[in-house]
Amino acid sequence: MARIVQKYGGTSVGDTDRIKNVARRIKAMRDQGHELVVVVSARSGVTNELIARAKAVCEFPSERELDMLLATGEQETIALTAMALNGIGVDAVSYTGAQAGIFTDKFHTKAKIKTINAKPIEKDLKLGKVVIVAGFQGINDDGQITTLGRGGSDLTAIALAAALHADKCEIYTDVDGVYTADPRVVKTARMLPEISYDEMLELASLGSKVMQTRSVEFAKKYGVIFEVRSSFNQNPGTIVKEEVAYMEKVVVRGVAVDKDQAKVIVSNVPDKPGSAAKVFRALSDSNINVDMIVQNVGQQGVATLTFTVPQTETARAVRSLEPVLAGLGGGQVAVHEQIAKLSVVGVGMKTHSGVAATLFQALADAGINIELISTSEIKISIVIDQARADEAARVAHTAFQLDKV
Ligand code: ASP
Ligand code: MG
């Protein structure tokens, strides 16, 4: 008998039939004698719909009221899942985040979990019940309902797995697991049987939106091993865990493409100490997430700074730079949105050389121009023309022999 925490995402509980399907899967596990705690998301689309409804009645809804509203999405699915289980003879009980003892800090819409009082759940598990917990929500010290940021049901599951010392944590979703590349783009992409937390984090933050990044960070911090797998079949998925030595034998684990970035070029900036500081201070004061940064060698007293930001933040970035450039006495801003960021990720890069050369050569052979480059210990990212991004992903995938087992 094992203690298992499962999480079913929005598509897995998207309608009545799917909720019944989830209930049957839970029953099959329960029939094997396992203790089960099941976290569910709102039906897919519901959270977005609720946000739209909030905006329709008030342009700037208070975050407290938003949390009050958004928490209802998960409250619907926990009750229905518990009922579906009862309907097939399984003793199950639904819990809101507060009832499950999930205490958060006070920051509405992006709260962090502080502690979990696992006693109420433990008690029901002892009584043989399946406990269904609302994902994405908690309660703060003032007794207010909070939510954990978009995609936060993953965090609920990982945090409960840690607090309950679960033997297993399974994240059920609508994909089979984590792939070497987006299988819709790269036909030869393979599902990875396992991946390290750090690789998963890089891939998650790069737009392979399998899981909420914060929840992977949490899992890493508390050493929660979890499996990402599909709720629509019985296939094993991808195990996400701490890096082990043999993982470094593979140089590149995956290729990710992010088409939601824009390139910002700030030219004719006075080439003197403090210019870059002022530019990036202004961006950071506006809470803009700057990624790749390149500065060319200054000529005739001026330099060019190029960097990437999320496309949704370009307008704000430009606005926040205008006063700075005026203050510096010069400089122009240009934005280029038709770009893509391609990254190759792998812990094997720590011990293998020539990864950059292989990538650049493969792209050169395909005639794809590289506009920006940045590297970290386990990642190389480049900016290229968005029109060639899919082709570049296939080229990189082949260059690192990811199509071969
Ligand atoms: N329902 C929430 C959202 O859509 C939480 C989740 O699905 O994990 O972001
Ligand atoms: Mg989700």
Mutate to test the pocket of ligand 1, among 72, 153, 209 (most ligand atoms within 8 A of CB): 153
Residue of 72, 136, 137 with the most ligand 1 atoms within 8 Å of its CB, for mutation: 136
The pair phi, psi for residue 101, each rounded to 5°, is 75, 30
Closest approach atom of ligand 1 to CA 212: 8
Residue 314 lies in a domain: no
52 part of a folded domain: yes
Task: Output the domain CATH number for residue 154.
Answer: 3.40.1160.10
CB 219 within 8 A of CB 197: yes
Q: Do the beta carbons of residue 333 and residue 374 sit within 8 Å?
A: no
Q: Residue 143 carries which DSSP code?
A: S
Indicate if the pLDDT at residue 56 is higher than 60: yes
Name the 3-class secondary structure at 309.
strand
The answer to the question of residue 122 being in a domain is: yes
Give Cα separations from 164 to 2, 38, 248 (angstroms): 12, 12, 31
Q: Is residue 79 part of a domain?
A: yes
261-319 per-position pLDDT tens digit: 999 999 999 888 899 999 999 999 998 989 899 888 778 889 999 999 999 999 999 99
Look up the pTM and report it: 0.88
256 and 345 Cβ atoms separated by less than 8 Å: yes
With helix as H, strand as E and coil as C, how does 50-109 read? HHHHHHHHCCCCCHHHHHHHHHHHHHHHHHHHHHHHHHCCCCEEEECCCCCCEEECCCCC
Residue pLDDT, tens place only, 170-220: 999 988 999 999 988 999 999 999 999 999 998 876 655 678 889 999 999
Distances (CA, A) of 340 to 314, 333, 336: 15, 19, 10
Sign for the CA dihedral angle at 215, 219, 222, 227 comes to positive
Residue 300 covered by a domain: no
**What mean pLDDT, rounded, does the chain reach?**
94
Answer yes or no: is 393 within a domain: no
10 C-beta closer than 6 A to ligand 1? yes
The answer to whether the Cα torsion of 200, 203, 208, 213 is positive or negative is positive
Taking the C-alpha atoms of residue 38 and residue 222, their distance in angstroms, rounded to an integer, is 19
- 351-388 pLDDT, tens digit each: 999 999 999 999 999 999 999 999 999 999 999 999 99
d(CA 285, CA 164): 39
| Percent of the chain whose pLDDT exceeds 70 | 99
The number of the ligand nearest the C-alpha atom of 78 reads 1
**Ligand 2 center to 10 CA (angstroms):** 6
How many structural domains does the chain have? Answer: 1
Identify the domain containing residue 114 by its residue range.
3-174
Q: Are 161 and 118 in contact (CB under 8 A)?
A: no
Q: Whose CA is nearest to atom 6 of ligand 1?
A: 151
Written as one letter, the residue type at 118 is: A
Give the pLDDT score at 206: 62
What 8-state DSSP symbol labels residue 387?
A: G
Q: Is 213 part of a structural domain of the chain?
A: no
Is 239 a domain residue?
A: no
For residue range 93-108, what is the model confidence (pLDDT) as tens digits? 999 999 999 999 999 9
